[in-house]
Structure 1
Amino acid sequence: MEIKQLEVFLAVMSAGSITAAARLLDRSQSQVTRLVQELEASVGFPLFERNGPRITPTSKAIAFHADAERFLTGIGQLQERAKTIASSELGPIEIAAIPAFASGLLPLALAEMPESLLPRSIHLRSISAEAAVQSVLARTADLCVASLPVEHPGLEVHGLFQSPCVAAVAVDDPLAAKPTISMEDFADRCLITMANPFRLRRRVNQALEVAGVRPSRIVDTNAALNALQLASTGFGIAIVEPATAYGVELKNVEIRPLDMNVPFLWGIFSAASRPLPDGVLELIQLIIRISAARMPGFIAHDPGHIERVADATFGAGQHAQEH
Structure 2
Amino acid sequence: MDLNQLEAFSAVMTIGSVTGAGKSLGRSQPAVSKAIQELEGELGYALFDRNGPRVTPTDKAFLLYEEVERSLVGLRTIRERAAEIGRDILQPIHLVATPALASTIAPAALKLVEAKGHLPEHIHLRSASAEQVAHSVLHRTVSLGLISLPVAHRGLDLHWIGEAPCVAVMRKDHPLAQLDCIDVNALQGQRAITMSNRYRLRQRINGALAGEKPLDVALETNTSFNAIMAAHAGLGVALVEPITALGMPIEGLVVKPLAVHIPFYFGVVTPFGKPLTATTQALIEAIEIAARDILHGFVKREASEHDDLL
Under TM normalisation by the shorter chain, which class is it? over 0.9
Q: Are 1:189 and 2:190 counterparts? A: yes
Check conservation: 1:188, 1:214, Cα contact below 8 A.
Answer: no
Aligned to 2:66: 66
Shift of 1:8: 0.9
- Corresponding residue of 1:14: 14
Q: Which amino acid aligns with 1:307?
A: D
TM-score, normalised via structure 2 length: 0.95
Classify the secondary structure of the residue corresponding to 2:226: helix
2:32 maps to 1:32: yes
> Any stretches of 5+ residues in structure 1 without a counterpart?
311-323
1:216 Cα deviation after fit: 4.2
Distance across 1 between alignment mates of 2:26 and 2:124? 26
1:175 aligned to 2:176? Answer: yes
1:319 maps to: none
1:88 Cα deviation (Å)?
A: 0.7
Alignment of structure 1 residues 1-323 onto 2, 5 Å: 1-115=1-115, 116-209=117-210, 211-310=211-310
3-state SS of 2:113 partner: coil
Using a 3 Å threshold, how does the CA distance of structure 1 residues 152 and 215 change in structure 2: closer, same or farther? Answer: closer
Percent identity, aligned pairs only, is 40
Indicate the SS of the match to 1:230: helix
The 1-side partners of 2:236 and 2:23 are apart by 44
CA distance in 2, matches of 1:264, 1:124: 22
**Kept after mapping to 2: 8 A contact 1:96/1:144:** yes
- d(CA) in 2 for partners of 1:83 and 1:26? 22
Q: Distance in 1 between matches of 2:13 and 2:119?
A: 34
- Calculate the TM-score normalised by the size of structure 1: 0.91
Output the amino acid matched with 2:174. D
Deviations 1:245-293 (A, max 9, x none): 1111211111100111211111101011111211111111111122123
Q: Contact (CA 8 Å) 2:206, 2:215: kept in 1 or not?
A: no
Q: What secondary structure is seen at the aligned counterpart in 1 of 2:140?
A: coil
Q: Secondary structure at the match of 1:64?
A: helix
- Could you tell me how far apart the structure 2 residues matched to 1:21 and 1:185 are? 54
Distance in 2 between residues matched to 1:33 and 1:261, nearest whole Å:
57
Counterpart Cα distance in 2 of 1:86 and 1:213: 64
Q: Is the 8 A contact 1:160 1:265 kept in 2?
A: yes
Match of residue 318 from structure 1: none
Q: Is the CA contact (8 Å cut-off) linking 1:171 and 1:232 kept in structure 2?
A: no
The answer to whether the Cα contact below 8 Å between 2:194 and 2:217 also exists between their aligned partners in 1 is no
- Alpha-carbon distance in structure 2 between the residues aligned to 1:185 and 1:9: 53
SS at match of 1:288: helix
Q: Greater shift after overlay, 169-178 or 111-120?
A: 111-120
Deviations 1:185-212 (A, max 9, x none): 2222221111111101111121232x13
**Deviations along 1:113-138, whole A, 9 cap, x unmatched?**
23521111101110011110111111
Shift of residue 148, structure 1, vs aligned partner: 1.0
Q: Is contact 2:100–2:243 with CA below 8 Å preserved after alignment?
A: yes
Deviation at 1:215, TM superposition (A): 4.2
Stretch deviating more after TM superposition (108-117 or 273-282): 108-117
Distance 1:184 1:16, change over 3 A: farther
Distance in structure 1 (CA, Å) of the matches to 2:217 and 2:265: 26
| Partner SS, residue 145 of structure 1 | strand
1:3-33: CA deviations, max 9, x gaps?
1111111111111121222222232221111
Alpha-carbon distance in 1 for matches of 2:181, 2:42? 60
SS in 2 for 1:198: coil
Letter in 1 for 2:257: P
Residue identity matched to 2:148: S
Q: CA deviation at 1:218?
A: 2.1
Instruction: Say if 1:183 and 1:213, in contact at 8 Å, map to a contact too.
Output: no
* Aligned partners of 1:105 and 1:244 also within 8 Å: no
One-letter code of the match for 2:166? C
Which letter maps to 1:81?
R
